[in-house]
Chains A and B, each alone.
Chain A
């Protein structure tokens, strides 16, 4: 029986619909070609690009649990730090000389830790998970602090010497080897994650995120699926931490910190969850924005990050981001001093917060519909729609 020829058109349509999204689009190919080109085009930027790759790996890891399975975490740095110390200790005490093997082992150890702690995280709702994940990170950080004779404690793990990758490529001061290494690891992690989220397993995660009750009513073992993805995500975070320890030849307690957990959440929110590129794009934007803003004012750069976040919540990720960039651009253009621009933008925020509703109403339903299309999760549209209904 010639299956393909005989299959009815509807079945072919269904197959086409399901498999189309698994194919690499031109945009994706262009993205990775650009990343590849950056090796030769921006050799002077390799250090910051390496950092971005590591943030991207870390955010990719968080996207797997947050964007696909709906597990929120405020302590994802637990696995990042664990991976970093695993790779750092392996190199420092010479357990594993070759970086790639050390990297894989660090990832596996972090995954094992993720598996062990996943049972704590499965309990309870979002707020409980937030607290439990945060708690796990604190516990690990203090353990590392306590055993300072091994980990270096508050001084960090110093004097790590990383051997050449595959015995051939030595990490250099300019970060050339480090960048190529990080980019390759990121790409491999991405390809695997992309495959996983488009598999039946990945689909079942999205179903659980959407409706856990119905998921179990169609035969999905909800808890085991969550354990599986949490374990994978922990492994990913461990890999990210290990790459950081290897490329910087250093590991510190800061890698467990809530700042790092919060930053990766921030990156994912800036880039958007649930399509895998969010973490990559978010890392790029966040790191370069950080660079630009701390040039603007070294002390108050976090003010601007906060400003951008609020704008994104008020006006959607894309539109709010553009609006925030414009406002920041104005303060730069007119060379306002820091105090004045902080006051002016804070006042702008307050005003925008008040006039948001009438403003959105005034801009008309067509414009609002365009906005809603840009926003993946239309947080404020229900009120907007009710206004439209009354009008």
Chain B
């Protein structure tokens, strides 16, 4: 199977700190790929490198075999890479309707349109209402995002990434901070994604990872440590050692 997103020898240094060390990942088309690792392992750095928020110190990022290492974030979104953030990054003063409308207009190439009124395009409003229904945001769609309950904001965070109609979706701890009772709602929406959307999931919760992922990469100290099928990784004594915090000689 061809890799849709691939990294080759990706390095990222912050001064003397090595946040990513020779990371070579290959994410297969349609995969449900999980990236796990202890705190500070560099998982979010990898996402930031993939989306263009950070520029790699060395190495390459390939989308469908094309080098995208030098493209700014917004151009990578247009090529089909979208992400969610570990800590909500939303527009506090906009409503969910406007937030989603914004992303959809951008995707349809209407973001530079300065003459038409927002909402005058039935294709855009149809998609907004579809997303609002899917993510059950109907009761709060007219409220300012800044005052929404955390669980609703988390749903909007994911809906906003979906609004970009990504081919590759990077989810940075989608259930982080969501109360136990509301987690299933977030996970259900992630599981309901079309099969042709490739998902890279960063998570801490092992239950989520093992119920969702068909492939797992373990990142430790910025470097890839182990990669394989979920049960392989689960059995791997080295992974257990890292997660149990035991000393381990490489």
Contacts and interface: CB of A to CB of B under 8 A. Distances in A.
B17 interface: no
B114 A202 contact: yes
B153 interface: no
Q: Dominant SS at the A interface? A: helix
B105 A214 contact: no
Contact of B90 (A7, A22, A211): A211
A36 interface: no
Contact of A213 (B53, B75, B117, B161): B53
Interface string B88-111: 011111110111011101110011
B129 A13 contact: yes
Interface in A99-121: none
Given A19-B117, A220-B74, A204 B85 contact: no
B141 to A, nearest CB: 7
Contacts of A127: none
Interface string B171-191: 000000000000000000000
B40 interface: no
Nearest to A218: B103
Q: Which of B114, B138, B161 has the most CB of A within 10 A?
A: B114
B74 A200 contact: no
B63 interface: no
Interface string A199-234: 111111011011101101111111001001000000
B115 interface: yes
A273 to B, nearest CB: 12
B114 A211 contact: no
A211 B153 CA distance: 15
Nearest to A204: B111
A96 B163 CA distance: 51
Contacts of A8: 129
A195 interface: yes
B141 A14 contact: yes
Chain A interface size, as a band, is 35 or more
Nearest to A199: B114
Given A10-B129, A216-B73, A219-B164, A18 B115 contact: no
A370 interface: no
A18 B97 contact: yes
A24 interface: no
A217 B77 contact: yes
Contact of A201 (B107, B111, B141, B164): B111
B34 interface: no
B110 A200 contact: yes
Contact of A17 (B90, B97, B112, B117): B97
Contacts of B132: 10, 14
Interface stretch (B24-32, B120-128, B237-245): B120-128
Interface in A1-52: 3, 7-8, 10-11, 13-15, 17-19, 22
A198 interface: yes
A196 B106 CA distance: 16
A217 B86 CA distance: 13
B118 A200 contact: yes
Contact of A200 (B92, B99, B111): B111
Contacts of A218: 77, 82, 102-103, 106, 160, 163-164
Contacts of B126: 7, 11
B118 A203 contact: yes
Given A200-B118, A207-B91, A11 B74 contact: no
Given A201-B113, A204-B102, A216 B122 contact: no
Contacts of A213: 53, 89
Contact of B91 (A13, A202, A214): A214
Nearest to B120: A19
Contacts of A211: 89-92
B65 interface: no
B91 A210 contact: yes
5 contacts: A11-B128, A199-B116, A200-B106, A217-B161, A218-B77
Given A11-B122, A202-B114, 18 more contacts: A10-B138, A13-B129, A14-B128, A18-B120, A19-B117, A199-B113, A199-B117, A200-B101, A201-B114, A207-B94, A210-B93, A214-B89, A216-B73, A216-B74, A217-B51, A218-B82, A218-B160, A219-B77
Interface of B: 51, 53, 72-75, 77-78, 82-83, 85, 89-95, 97-99, 101-103, 105-107, 110-120, 122, 125-126, 128-129, 132-133, 138, 141-142, 160-161, 163-164
User: 8 tightest CB-CB pairs across the interface, nearest first?
Assistant: A18-B119, A219-B77, A201-B114, A214-B89, A210-B91, A10-B129, A200-B105, A11-B129
